[in-house]
Homo-oligomer: A and B are copies of this chain.
Amino acid sequence: MELYADRGFENTTVAEIAERAGLTERTFFRHYADKREVLFGGAGELQDALVSAVSEVPDSAAPLDAVATGLESVGSWLEEQRGREYASRRQRIINANTELQERELIKFASLSAALADILRKRGTGEPAASLTAEVGIAAFKVAFERWIRRSNRRNLPELIRDSLDELRAVAVSR
Q: Which residues of A contact B (CB under 8 A)?
A: 62-65, 98, 101-103, 105-106, 109, 127-128, 130-132, 134-135, 138-139, 141-142, 145-146, 163, 166-174
Contact = CB atoms under 8 A, between A and B. Distances in A.
Contact of A171 (B109, B146, B167, B174): B167
Q: Across chains A and B, which 7 residue pairs bring their CB atoms closest together, nearest first?
A: A134-B138, A171-B171, A105-B105, A102-B102, A62-B173, A127-B142, A168-B171
Contacts of A163: 127, 131
A10 to B, nearest CB: 17
A142 B19 CA distance: 45
29 contacts: A62-B174, A63-B170, A63-B173, A64-B170, A64-B171, A64-B174, A65-B174, A101-B109, A102-B102, A102-B105, A102-B106, A105-B105, A105-B106, A105-B109, A127-B142, A127-B146, A127-B166, A128-B170, A130-B142, A131-B139, A131-B142, A131-B163, A134-B135, A134-B141, A135-B135, A135-B167, A135-B170, A135-B171, A167-B171
A98 B106 CA distance: 9
Give the one of A103, A134, A141 with max B CB within 10 A: A134
Nearest to A63: B170
Contacts of A169: 128
A138 B171 CA distance: 13
Given A134-B135, A135-B135, 13 more contacts: A63-B173, A65-B174, A105-B105, A105-B109, A128-B166, A128-B169, A128-B170, A130-B142, A131-B170, A134-B134, A134-B138, A135-B167, A135-B170
